[in-house]
Structure 1
Amino acid sequence: MPIENRGREEIDTSTEHTGSDIWEDFVQGYIPEDPIDIHPQLSLHTAYETDVDPVTYEVLRHRLYSINEEHGATLENVSGSPVAYFAQDFNPTILTATGEVVFQGPYIQFFSPIAELQAKWILENRSGNPGIEPGDVFISNDTWVGSTHQPDVFFLAPVFREGELFCWVVNTLHQYDIGGSNAGSFCPGASNVFEEPVPIPPIKVVEGGEVREDLRQMYLRHSRLPQMVGLDFNAQVAGVNVARERINDTIDEYGAETVKGVMHEVLDDAEQKFVRKLEQIPDGTYRGRAYMDGSKTGDTGIYRGEIQIQKEGDTLTFTNENTAPDKDAINCTYAGFRTAIMSVLNPFMMSDAMWVSGGPLRHIEIETTPGTMTHAQWPSGTSNGGTVSVPFVIHLVNNAVNRMLAASENLKRNIITGQNAGGGAVAQAGIDQWGEEFGTMNLDCMSGGIGAAPHRDGVDTGGQYWAPKAPIPNMEHNEQDYPILYLYRSEVPDTGGPGERRGGAGMDYCWKPHKTERIENVFAASGVLAPLSKGISGYPGGNGRFDVVHDSDVEERFAEREVTQDLTELEGDFERLHSKAHDVQRPDDVSVIRNGGTPGYGDPIERDPERVADDIERGLVTEAAANDIYGVVVERDGDEVAVLDDATEARRSEIRERRLAESTIGGEQ
């Protein structure tokens, strides 16, 4: 059926240009209206070829994607930050002139849909003063305009052809420290934004190809490590310059109207594929609920988050009714809520048109309530958004989308029961082994399980499905660069949620300071007190946790040539930290973080007993869990585990009978 292309270059170039209500944007969060209001002095390139031949289309589609990937490689290679070259905590994006996402890279997914808001805000509020010109680059990290949290910094560059704005190239990179009350710029103890890094609305930091040194110096002045952030700054400028040059080369070769025609066709194709999937889903309301633990350091409260998806025809409407009010440091803005949606829909529903968020976004409406923790109002804290609040919304969306897909026999196979249930991030700072100041994120946080599906088990320590190219660093690299010594990394038994298909297992990573007197650790997470991904069937995965043994006997054990593989083996003062915590680690203090597991799918007593035995051999399921949850009885002979068939059949019958006895039928027990 024909599809209305809602996002085409719709503009208002009336002489009564007013831009958006800036102060309303800064309080409520920027929500662009359609069409957006652009100053008449800015001309957009709107002509495009409507019938590009199929061969040229495929050549240019892949070329644009490759340009975006080269943009990402430039960020990785120019930056000296471990956030860039280990975790690839960035994403490059190509946008149309009016901000639709044509291509995003295979890196951190929630960086690209949110870039659309940044570009639209610049068009509305900067096209008149100071203007948008060839060679310009804008910088922004304002969460109320469009960022997940202040450390995620956007560089946006317009691409011009013959005096008209043709498209945008954008990159986002998590920068280690840009100010705030804690080293690393996560501020889990913040009560409001004034205790966090300063939000910077879009400003022109490169003008006509020349870096504005006054603004660059002002920006770096906020950081505890300006040299490292300066390298990131240079890498981001280099990235947009490379992408801009490659796009201009492509236009020189094929013509502006042909390239623009391909961009439109890429978007239309993604839109049509999305709508065809929506046609297979019954109209209705699908819901998700999860609980955030701790509004700030020292708080042990639990805060409810809810999401509703109203599917009607070719439109999904997302709301957040019954969500707790915004509070302290647990919040994300409207922009964070919006971009979390595409972080789920892309891998779940757009595997045949990945990295093209602009098409599906034409059929998504968002009606959130300002003043809630998933649509925060100024001046709520948002500096933990990228590691706590936005992943929290991803869990909510994941839970609701699973229910929606389960209503379609054809789409049920696309279900992923969840992402890892907790673990969050740790920012570290202190004096390194060479006597110099250091700061970093321990990027082991990018591990954790990936959820099960109806047709397969989850992926053990598979990472985040919304960050497909984000690896965890080699331990040796971290030990070389920073004053830490690992004791172990290990997959944790029984953290993968039980089910006919088992969820992916989580991971513990354990370290101590090495050749330093102290390390400041700042922890920011959710899913520590309560699992976030409950799944749609089967059991939830294991939670995350932060543990530390102060004044341990680890050095004495080293002297005896013993390296512990379990924190509980150590003597000392054990402490379990909350999900928002600050801890100073001394030489004999040993810390461990658990990145949680993910839910299973289906009834555990329907799992093939031989697969349970294999899980036991691999150390992913304990014999106790096999007996109690899976109903599988085994015997062990050394490292080999064998299923006792008759005992297993009897045990599973016992579990079924107990369930029937405990069930409530017709209101009676």
Structure 2
Amino acid sequence: MTATSETPSVVWDGVARGYVPNEPLAVPPSVPLHTQASDAVDPVTFEVVRYSLMNINLEHGQTLQRLCVSPITMLTRDFQPSILTQHGDVVFLGPYLQYFSNSQSLTIKWILENRAADPGIAPGDMYLSNDPFVGSPHQPDAVVAAPVFVGDELFCWVSNVLHHSDVGGSVMGSFCVDATDLFTDPPAFPPFKLVERGAIRPDLEQLFLRQSRVPTNVHMDLRAAISANLVAVEKITALLERYGADTVKAVMNRVLDAGETTMAQRLAKIPDGTWSHRMYAEAAHTGDTGTYVYQTTVRKEGEHLYVDNHGTDPQTGSINVTYAGFAGAFLAALTASLTSDLAGAYGGAYRRVHFDPSPGTLSCADFPAAVSPAGMYTMETLISLASTVIGKMLACAEPEIAARAIGPAHPAFYGMISGGVTPEGHQFIGVNANNMIGSLAASPVGDGVDFGGHFWIPEGTASNVEELELLWPVLYLYRRGLPGGADGAGRHRGGRGFLEASIPWRVPGLAAAVYIDESFPKTVGGFGANPGSVGHFRLKHGSDVRKSFEAGSVPQDFAAIGGAEAAVEAKGPALMIADDGVWEWTGANATGFGDPLLRDPEQVARDVAEGALPAAAADRVYGVVLGAGGEADAVRTAQRRAQLLRERLADARVPDGVRTAPDTASLRALGGELALAEHDGVRYFATATGRALLGPVTAGYKDGCAVLERSLRDLGPEFATHEARAGYTVRYREYLCPVTGLRVETEILREGDEPVRDIVLRG
């Protein structure tokens, strides 16, 4: 993993802007590094040592889980342990939060370049950092890194990074959506030596804890991080004593080399080309109604990837991340797609990825940009953006590589952070991470997974309702699946998300400190599928919930609950909720794949029968006509779909002089209706069913499509919004086969933005 910049004056130092390590690292001679590796390690010894290292790292994670006290770490697994080389390259990471992988690597490399001379690195030391300009995605994510020595040589590192419940700032939980810069954000500490030769420095520990509203929880979780590192150091030291440092180093090097070889082999099965995608965020801070763009482009040349964020808006408000977050999000999506079978041995794969970020942008912000809400907003946006771009790239690959596409992630971590005082008088911060229930997007080969979690945190779990009611003064009314509809529809539908409702319990009230209420969806479905869901947060004051309790019923329909519904912003201020208040928030239905009008009618009928899709949506969304018994009527469905396709083309702008590939020309499917065809010695993008030639592969396909554009809110009632909200003017553009009317691709556009040329291949 490298980063470059076309601007020579840019200094990626971790101070003025995000940190990019020097190559080679500028490590002073005062810290000698162990580099000797054995030339001959037999296969049995190699496997024993390799699995020992992997299991040491897994035990590291299990130790964190057992010792941490905060639900965000103990239950959600919002952490990551890693083993890294003496230079800070990742050898193994665990099945936890995947975008943390480069956080530890960057932090350790920064320590080697900036702390090795003074105050130095010695056996028994540990460094702590939560500085986003060094390596953390945002300030609640604190890295604790410990060196492992052999004699006087630094052999390797063990490290963990975990999310702390509160590390200060203007908002409870430290997601400071109202921040305008880092000075109104939580404090960011560059790496400092928290543990010196085995002894914790109480002055610096107290400095870190003093910032928190819940210092006891943070103290326990910080001690858990230190203890888990000690366990890993002890295990690795024992492994070195048994097999020898040179043997273990040889295994580490070969693991890295094998990962690089695997990545190179898979990249070789993807044609050279460029793939790009754009996503939007709404509201840069509390009170803002603006819309902002993030863009990621991947260029593949030979067996290497070159990644940039050109086209992203300038940094503003609190929706920024630094270079560490941008790179971590992309690497999380890439390894989940291409190298998930390497079981966390991803460091070698990173060698084939090179970043060329634009500084001063939303996804590569310079100091002093505010970044603390990134863990709920921008990091998920960038993971979703990266997985969309990677999915486009893999669609062009050989079939066994194309099948690895996983579809876009949720564009935000839906939920809320509440706070207040318990009946016993203790301050609490409730980080509701129930959206770990999640949902997975559809793929080229099938539907997404209902309530399937998130690919970027495989071990993440949601809490049981009863656990949360014990922890916080909250009572849950319901938690259930989110019905399907236009959101998430496709030839293969996206996995279903969920919604839940709650009230304050045994307290006069509490505050909703952080929440998400979107006015338009951010993720488009793959190759003609519909967008995913709009995440909502709804609040009613003066509700009649307790009267319903007295009558012996628990409300199950938010719309039917009495009370005055509050106006809610996308990223609004803290909302005070009295004991008669009630709130509901939704997760998201993930995106589908392919045109919904191509979905198997029997699958639509099955979704209706199983309660996953309202009966009225069968015709409205999928063009499927159901019989009296709920079965799909094949004849009437075919007629209805033909009518809908004709209406699409009638409303679309169809290009002049549509050409089609002759029957003798072979077509190779890419994704959905998009295909490749060779005609008169030229490779073209074409449509699979209508065989329309859309344009040479070197120029893209969109100019040859029929184009249907409308307000996004007109796509279905699931996307309706108020005229005062940002989503009211957002456009939805459908690229259609000019022969059949079937969708080739779709695009969400901010008013005034030009379309993205998203797929261009080498001739």
Task: Please state which band the TM-score falls in when normalised by the shorter chain.
Answer: over 0.9
Which residue among 296, 315, 318 is the counterpart of 2:307?
Answer: 318
Give 1:299's aligned residue: 288
Which of 605, 608, 614 is the equivalent residue of 2:600? 608
Q: Is 2:513 aligned against 1:555? A: no
Paired letter, 2:583: S
Instruction: Give me the whole-angstrom Cα distance separating, in 2, the residues matched to 1:90 and 1:630.
Output: 41
* Equivalent residue number for residue 133 of structure 1: 122
Residues 377 and 413 in structure 2, CA contact (< 8 A), matched pair in contact too: no
* Residues 344-402 of structure 1: per-residue CA shift (max 9 Å, x gap): 01110002213123112111111111110101111110101122111111121111111
> Counterpart amino acid of 1:315?
H
Match of 1:617 in 2: 609
Q: Does 1:500 align with 2:488?
A: no
Q: Are the equivalent residues in 2 in contact too, given 1:421–1:543 (CA < 8 A)?
A: no
1:256-271 alignment to 2 at 5 Å?
A: 256-271=245-260
Partner of 1:476: 466
Cα distance in 1 between the residues matched to 2:303 and 2:196? 42
- Point out the more displaced range, 176-185 or 438-447: 438-447
Higher mean Cα deviation, 352-361 or 471-480? 352-361
More divergent stretch after superposition (138-147 vs 262-271): 262-271
Within the candidate set 82, 89, 97, 2:78 is matched to 89
Shift in Å, 1:598? 1.4
Moved over 6 A (4+): none
Contact 1:293/1:530 (<8 A) preserved: no
Once residues 421 and 610 of structure 1 are traced to their aligned partners in structure 2, the CA distance between those partners, rounded to angstroms, is: 30
The equivalent residue for 1:33 is 22
Matched, 1:454 2:444: yes
Question: After superposition, where does 1:81-480 map in structure 2 within 5 Å?
Answer: 81-410=70-399, 411-480=401-470
Map Cα deviations across residues 468-522 of structure 1 (whole Å, 9 max, x no partner). 1101000000011110001111111126511121111121111110001121222
CA contact (8 A) 2:11 2:17 kept: no
CA distance in structure 2 between the partners assigned to 1:336 and 1:563 by the alignment: 42
Write the deviation string for residues 35-82 of structure 1: whole angstroms up to 9, x where unpaired: 010011101010112342222222221111111111011111111111
Q: Which whole-Å deviations, capped at 9, do the CAs of 1:211-254 have from their partners, x for residues lacking one?
A: 00111111111111111111011100001000000111111111
Normalised TM-score (structure 2): 0.83
How far 1:525 moved relative to its partner?
Answer: 4.7
Structure 2 contact 521–531 (Cα < 8 Å) conserved? no
Shift of 1:24: 4.4
TM-score (norm 1): 0.94
Q: Would the alpha carbon gap of residues 338 and 525 (structure 1) be closer, same or farther in structure 2, given more than 3 Å must change? A: farther
- The one-letter amino acid paired with 1:329 is S
Rounded Cα–Cα distance in structure 1 between residues aligned with 2:625 and 2:398: 34
Matched residues, percent identical? Answer: 38
Q: Is the 8 A contact 1:533 1:598 kept in 2?
A: no
- Residue type of the partner of 1:494? G
Go from structure 1 to structure 2 and tell me whether the alpha carbon gap of 1:103 and 1:576 turns closer, same or farther (over 3 Å shift): farther
Most deviating of 508-517 and 491-500: 491-500
- 2:581 matched residue in structure 1: 589
The offset of 1:165, in angstroms, is 0.5
Provide, for residues 520-551 of structure 1, a one-character-per-residue CA deviation record: whole Å limited to 9, x for no partner. 22225586533235434311211111111111
Cα 1:615–1:421, aligned 2, differ >3 Å: closer, same or farther? Answer: farther
Counterpart residue identity of residue 188, structure 1: V
**Equivalent-residue separation in structure 2 for 1:169 and 1:77 (angstroms):** 18
Q: Which residue of 1 aligns with 2:568?
A: 577
How big is the shift at 1:29? 1.1
Structure 2 Cα separation of the partners of residues 421 and 620 of structure 1: 22
> What RMSD in Å do the two structures reach over aligned CA positions?
1.8
Check conservation: 1:545, 1:576, Cα contact below 8 A: no
Instruction: Give the match's secondary structure for 2:53.
Output: helix
Matched residues in 2 for 1:201 and 1:187: separation? Answer: 20
Structure 1 residues 259 and 627: alpha-carbon distance in aligned structure 2, compared to 1, 3 A threshold: same
Letter in 2 for 1:143: P
Cα distance in 2 for partners of 1:512, 1:151 equals 27
Q: AA paired with 1:368?
A: P
Q: Is the 8 A contact 1:309 1:319 kept in 2?
A: yes
Q: Give 1:635 deviation, angstroms.
A: 4.1
1:490 aligns with 2:476: no
Residue 658 of structure 1 deviates from its aligned partner by 2.3
What is the correspondence of 1:56-95 to structure 2 with a 5 Å cutoff? 56-95=45-84
- Whether the 8 Å CA contact 2:209–2:219 is kept in 1: the answer is yes
SS in 2 for 1:646: helix
- The code of the aligned residue for 1:559 comes to E
Contact 2:337 2:404 in 1 (8 A): yes
CA contact (8 A) 2:102 2:324 kept: no
Q: Which has the higher mean CA deviation after the structures are superposed, 65-74 or 447-456?
A: 447-456
Distance 1:152 1:306 in 2: 25
- Match in the other structure for 1:3: none
Aligned-partner Cα distance in 1 for 2:140–2:628: 50
Q: Is the 8 A contact 1:423 1:593 kept in 2?
A: no
Query: Could you report, residue by residue, the CA deviation over 1:167-212 in whole angstroms, capped at 9, with x for unpaired residues?
Result: 0001011000111111111101111111111100000000000000
2:654 corresponds to 1:665: yes
For 1:564 and 1:210, locate their aligned partners in 2 and report how far apart those are by CA, in whole Å.
54
For residues 567 and 560 of structure 2, the distance between their equivalents in structure 1, rounded to whole angstroms, comes to: 15
Amino acid at match of 1:447: I
Distance 1:666 1:559 in 2: 65
Q: Are the counterparts in 2 of residues 420 and 506 from structure 1 also a CA contact under 8 Å?
A: no
**1:302 Cα deviation (Å)?**
0.5
Distance in 2 of aligned mates of 1:474 and 1:84? 15
The answer as to whether partners of 1:487 and 1:512 remain within 8 angstroms in 2 is: yes
What is the deviation of 1:618? 2.5
**CA 526–204 in structure 1, closer or farther in 2 if over 3 Å, else same:** farther
State the one-letter code of the partner of 1:538: A
User: Which secondary structure does the structure 2 equivalent of 1:87 belong to?
Assistant: coil
Residue 667 of structure 1, CA deviation: 4.0
CA distance in structure 2 between the aligned counterparts of 1:533 and 1:34, rounded to whole angstroms? 38
Shift of 1:606: 2.0
Taking structure 1 as reference, are residues 524 and 321 closer, same or farther at Cα in structure 2, changes over 3 Å only?
farther
Mapped partners of 1:559, 1:386: distance in 2: 40
Give 1:619 shift.
Answer: 2.2
Q: Could you tell me which amino acid in structure 1 is paired with residue 466 of structure 2?
A: E
- Relative to structure 1, the CA distance from residue 256 to residue 514 in structure 2 (aligned partners, 3 Å threshold; closer, same or farther) is same
Asked if the contact 1:423–1:545 (Cα under 8 Å) also holds between the matched residues in 2, the reply is no
Q: CA deviation at 1:446?
A: 2.0
What residue number does 1:18 align with?
none
Q: Gaps (5+ residues) in structure 2? A: 3-9, 658-705, 707-763
How many Å apart are 1:636 and its aligned residue?
5.8
Deviations 1:570-594 (A, max 9, x none): 1111135223232111111111111
TM superposition shift of 1:614: 1.7
1: CA distance between counterparts of 2:520 and 2:315? 19
Is the CA contact (8 Å cut-off) linking 2:605 and 2:632 kept in structure 1?
A: yes
* Alignment correspondent of 1:567: 558
Instruction: Give the CA deviation at 1:261.
Output: 0.8
Letter in 2 for 1:428: S
Contact 2:378 2:412 in 1 (8 A): no
Pair 536,58 (structure 1): closer, same or farther in 2 beyond 3 Å: farther
CA shift digits 1:586-615 (9 cap, x unpaired)? 111111111112111122222222211221
Any stretches of 5+ residues in structure 1 without a counterpart?
1-5, 8-20
Distance 1:587 1:593 in 2: 18
